[in-house]
């Protein structure tokens, strides 16, 4: 039983290291997708909780647009 627990601990650490490595590669590559200060955001559409589509173009030039992203919101994490 003790040997099986040790194997699970090693497996969990290896999994964590793999996730960190993959995450760092993804983050390094996604920097080119980030907007710089002063750049215009590309047009996009998002689904609202009411199932309607909300588009940036609907608000552009009419009022300020602020986007907040909550990591893990509405998930089981």
User: Model-level pTM?
Assistant: 0.40
What six digits make up the tokens of 4? 């099986």
> Are the CB atoms for 22 and 11 separated by under 8 Å?
no
- Structure confidence at residue 5 (pLDDT): 79
Helix (H, G, I), strand (E, B) or coil at 59: helix
Pure H helices in the chain: 2-30, 56-59
The residue ranges of every structural domain in the chain are 2-59
One digit per residue, the tens of pLDDT, for the chain of length 77 reads: 577 777 778 878 888 787 777 776 666 655 556 777 888 888 888 888 888 888 888 888 888 887 777 776 666 65
The pLDDT value recorded for residue 22 is 75
Burial of 56 (0-12, 13-18, 19+ CB in 10 A): middle
Return the pLDDT at 28: 62
34 DSSP assignment: S
């Amino acid at each position: 039983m003790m040997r099986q627990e040790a194997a699970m601990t090693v497996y969990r650490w290896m999994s964590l290291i793999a996730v960190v490595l993959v995450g760092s590669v993804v983050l390094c590559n996604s920097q080119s997708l980030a907007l710089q200060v002063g750049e215009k955001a590309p047009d996009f559409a998002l689904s609202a909780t009411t199932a309607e589509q909300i588009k940036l173009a609907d608000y552009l030039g009419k009022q300020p647009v602020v986007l907040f992203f909550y990591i893990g919101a509405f998930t089981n994490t």
